[in-house]
Structure 1
Amino acid sequence: MEDKFRMIEDSFRKLDMCLTDKQVEQFLLYYELLVKKNKVMNLTAITEFPDVVCKHFLDSGMICKVMELEGKLIDVGTGAGFPGIPLKILYPDLQVVLLDSLNKRVKFLDDVIRELGLQGIEAVHGRAEDLGKRKDYREQFNVCVSRAVAHLSSLAEYCIPFVKVGGCFVAYKSGKVEEELETADRAVCVLGGELEQKVDVVIPGTDIFRSVLRIRKVKETPGRYPRKAGVPGKEPIS
């Protein structure tokens, strides 16, 4: 256990983050809960401890390369809790909402939140297209994050409606994204955003290339967006 403790500490130091003992212990417990539940429910294909630390925990923390976090954050399509739960561990004062469309995953996230003793965080069952229309969620967040694999044109429609004017949508994308950025430019603009920064990084301890995109919300999202469930994925704004 001590070796695992040191591995987490040393890994986050590569991101210039010094974790407290409590934070390291929360990451360790999160790992244990993840692999235990994964035996009966498909949460992740990545289960070996060093891989989870690098490809899930550290990867989630890569947002530190584009901004400091404060206020309210929503993680759209959180799945097993990435990046939202690691970000809550790293930034304890954040108010976090974890949004996922599968109720079984939400129940797992509720268990993780309880077992880790996290405060100011909730898991919500729903679709982004529906919650993005609701007054209690629409344009209520300083930051929206997503590691979902959807094309940026669709992802922008799922995520930007949640962000306050002046806030940011941060997308974690694999590989080089220049072409995707070009084709998504109009969608981002229509939804009220503009690309502010793109940072290309390699996750420490791996050869995995990651682009972290920071999209600033510069104006309100038109009322017709997001469109009804299923449409953004099938018919992206172009």
Structure 2
Amino acid sequence: MEQLRKKAEILGISLTEQQCLQFQKYYEYLIEKNKVMNLTGITEKEEVIDKHFIDSLGLAAKMDLTKPLTVLDLGTGAGFPGIPLKIAFPNLTITLLDSLNKRIKFLDEVIDLLGLTGIETIHGRAEDYAKPGKLREQFDLCVSRAVANLSSLSEYCIPYVKEGGYFIPYKSGNIDEELKKAGHAIGMLGGKVESVEEFQIPGTDIERTFVKIKKRKATPKRFPRKAGMPSKDPL
């Protein structure tokens, strides 16, 4: 975990021995459970540290995460970026949402194993929990590493964000064209692109782009549309 500690330091994050131990346990349990269920195609320790742990923490180089923020990790999968962010920033109150129940069970086991508090899991579809009376406009920040075009991802995520809060997707590669196409959708949903922040994982050539979308006004009630529509027919 020395590699993790040093790279986190470059991002301005000082990990304690306890936090490094939590990352170690997370890695070991991820690899153990990955033998019986599909959680990640990345299993080499150094790669997990770079492509999952440090990648998840990269947001800290572009945004102040030391405040007591409420955070939704939508389509969290094996817990990225939500669990690494929670380990490094215990002040965050995090909700992990995923549509696959077996992944949620895995995440519950990880939370228990690491002794994390102020973090919960929800099994369900993004479209369902964004409805009024559920989790709509409840979060200071929504993050997602889910692989989806920005128009679709915005329709899934922006309804969860409070006015004045942010939706920040973790994107890869050149996103100029994708961002241009998503502009209309982001505006319709009540958001505005504030900045586009590029990040390179220390010691690698792996690049990540964070799109900082600020929620300027309430999302119209008709969004998100019914299950499957945001992906099938992007705004």
**Structure 1 position 176, deviation (Å):** 1.1
Q: Gaps (5+ residues) in structure 1?
A: none
- Post-superposition, which runs of at least 4 consecutive aligned residues in structure 1 deviate over 3 A? none
Match of 2:160 among 159, 162, 179: 162
Residues of 2 paired with 1:51 and 1:147: CA distance? 17
Structure 2: how far apart are the matches of 1:93 and 1:209?
Answer: 27
What residue in structure 1 maps to residue 180 of structure 2? 182
Checking the alignment, whether the CA contact within 8 Å between 1:176 and 1:210 is kept in structure 2 is no
Aligned counterpart in structure 1 of residue 99 of structure 2, from 87, 98, 101 = 101
Mark the runs of 5 or more structure 2 residues left unpaired by the alignment. none
C-alpha distance in 2, partners of 1:98/1:78? 6
Aligned pair 1:59/2:55, yes or no? yes
Q: Deviations over 1:47-102 (max 9, x none)?
A: 10000000000000111132112321000000000000001011101110000000
Aligned to 2:147: 149
1:86 and 1:176 map into 2 onto residues whose CA distance is 25
Match of 1:210 in 2: 208
The corresponding residue for 1:84 is 82
Instruction: Give the SS at the match of 1:213.
Output: strand
Matched, 1:44 2:71: no
Do the aligned residues in 1 keep the contact of 2:12 with 2:61 (CA within 8 Å)? Answer: no
Offset, 1:15: 1.1
Q: Deviations over 1:186-231 (max 9, x none)?
A: 0000000000111112111221111111100000000000001100
Structure 1 position 9, deviation (Å):
1.1
Q: Shift in Å at residue 134 of structure 1?
A: 4.0
Task: Check conservation: 2:127, 2:224, Cα contact below 8 A.
Answer: yes
The count of residues paired between Structure 1 and Structure 2 equals 233
Cα separation, 2, equivalents of 1:98 and 1:91 = 15
TM-score normalised according to structure 2 size? 0.97
Q: Percent same amino acid among aligned pairs? A: 56
